Structure 1
Amino acid sequence: MDTTMNTVTNRVMPKIGDMAPDFEAVTTMGKIQFSDYAPDQWVVLFSHPADFTPVCTTELTGFAKRKAEFDALNTALLGLSIDSVHAHLGWIQNVRQNTGVLFDFPIIADIDMKVAKLYGMLQPNESETAAVRAVFIIDPYKRIRLIMYYPMNVGRNMDEILRTLQALQVSDQYQVALPLDWKSGDKVIVPPPRTVEEMNKRLEDKTLEKVDFYLAKKDLN
C-alpha cells in the first residue's frame, strides 16, 4: 500500500468547534481581514472549483438569488475560488449579462491557495489546484459550527444550507436540539434530564410530546 501523503493532507484541517482560521484576502469587494469581516454576524464561507464553469454558475446564482434569506438570518456570504479577481469580475459580469443575476457578495481571489489550504478546501484525490465545494457556517464569535464538503461534480443543496443555519441559531437561542429533518415551525427536542428529580418532573409534564423521559419534544411558540 502506498503510504506517501500529500503535504496538504498532512495539514491540520479545521474542525467543528474550532475558531475559524484568520486570513487577509483580496475579494471582489476589496481587501478583507476575516477576523474583522461581518462583525456580530454569522458567516457562510463557501468555495467553488472555478469561475466560468457550469455547476459553479448554478451554485453562486443560487446564493445570489437567496441572499435576502441569509440577510434575514443575520448572515454574511463569502465565496472563494482559486481564480484571480479579474476572472471573478469577468464571470460576475458574464452571469449578470446572461441571467440578470448579480453575485452581490465578496468572492475571495485565492490565487496562492492560502485560504483554501487553511480550511482544507483542497482535496488531493479530487484536485490539487482547485477547491472542492466546501461550506463553513461560522458564528458571530468566529467559531466554526458546521462543515459540509461536496465533490466537484455535485452541486450543493441551498435549502439544506439555510435549514442548518437556522437550526444552529434556534439551538443557540433556545438551548434545544433539533430532530431529524427539522425545519422552522417544527417541534424541538428539550435537553434530557440530568437528575432523578428532573426525570420525575419530565414524566409529569403534560405539555411535552414524550416518546420516553429521555426523548421529549415541544413547540417553541
Structure 2
Amino acid sequence: MNLQSQIPPPPVGIRLGDLAPDFAARSTMGDLSLSDYRGRWLVLFSHPADFTPVCTSEFVALAQAADDFERRDCALLGLSVDSLFSHFAWLRMIRDRFDIEVRFPVIEDPTMVIGKAYGMVSAEDSDSATVRSTYFIDPQGVVRAITCYPFDVGRSIPEMLRVLDALQAVSGKSGLAPANWQKGDALLGDPTGSLDQVYKAKGQTDWFYKQAKPKGGK
C-alpha cells in the first residue's frame, strides 16, 4: 500500500515573500481591489463567519484600534464567506451592542475563491470554519508575515500591532527584531558572513549577536 498517496495535498496558497494575489470584490465600503492598497501597508484578515462570538470580539477590538493602524499608515481589510448584506446586518449589530462603528472594509467571499487562492482553506473544502488567517502585506504588495489561528481562538490585537511595528522597523534596513521586541527597542545586527570577522570579534558572540548600528553609526 502506498501510504504517500493517502496524504492529502497541502492547500494551494502563498508563502512569505510572494506577491499577494490581486482580486476584486464587493465590500461594506464599496467595490475594491487588493491593488488599491499599493503604496501603504495592509493587514488582510479573514474570519469564519458573521454573528459568531470570537469574530465579534475581534471586530470590536480592531475597530477600537483602527486609529493605531492608521497612524502606522496601515489599512485594515476583513474577509468572510458571508454575503455583503450579512456583513451590513452584523456591523449594525456591533454598533448597536458595543457602541463602535466598524469603518474598515469587510469583503464578501461566498465561493471562497479568495480564501482558496490564499491557502486559507484547501481547494476541496466546502466549509470555512478553519479560516482565521492574517496577512501582513507591505507597500509593494509583498506578503511579509502570516499568522493562522483556529476558529475557537481569537487574535491578539497588540501582537498584530507589534508584528507590524517590527516589520516596518526592519523593512529596507539592516537589523533584526528579537523576541518580545517592542517599538523603540534596539534591533539586533545581521551576523557576519566572514570567518576573518568571526575571529576578529572582541566578544565570543559579537559576530552574530549584537545590537544593530544606528543609521549613520560607525
Q: Please, what TM-score do these two structures have when normalized by structure 1?
A: 0.86
What does 1:205-216 correspond to in 2, within 5 Å? Answer: 211-216=205-210
- Root-mean-square deviation (CA), in Å? 2.5
Other-structure match for 1:48: 47
Other-structure match for 1:17: 17
TM-superposed CA distance for 1:11, in Å, is 4.4
What does 1:155-194 correspond to in 2, within 5 Å? Answer: 155-194=154-193
Unaligned residue ranges in structure 1 (runs of 5+): 205-209
Amino acid paired to 1:164? V
Unaligned residue ranges in structure 2 (runs of 5+): none
TM-superposed CA distance for 1:113, in Å, is 1.1
Q: Distance in 2 between matches of 1:111 and 1:131?
A: 15
Other-structure match for 1:32: 32
Q: Distance in 2 between matches of 1:50 and 1:139?
A: 26
Q: Distance in 1 between matches of 2:196 and 2:131?
A: 49
Other-structure match for 2:57: 58
Other-structure match for 1:207: none
Q: Distance in 2 between matches of 1:22 and 1:88?
A: 22
- Deviation readout 1:121-141 (Å, 9 max, x if unpaired): 226999724451100000011
Q: Does 1:135 align with 2:134?
A: yes
Counterpart contact for 2:133–2:146, Cα < 8 Å? yes
TM-superposed CA distance for 1:173, in Å, is 4.6
Counterpart contact for 1:55–1:153, Cα < 8 Å? yes
Other-structure match for 2:151: 152
TM-superposed CA distance for 1:145, in Å, is 0.5
Aligned length: 212
Amino acid paired to 2:6? T
Counterpart contact for 1:188–1:220, Cα < 8 Å? no
TM-superposed CA distance for 1:143, in Å, is 0.5
Q: Distance in 1 between matches of 2:126 and 2:62?
A: 24
Counterpart contact for 1:186–1:219, Cα < 8 Å? no
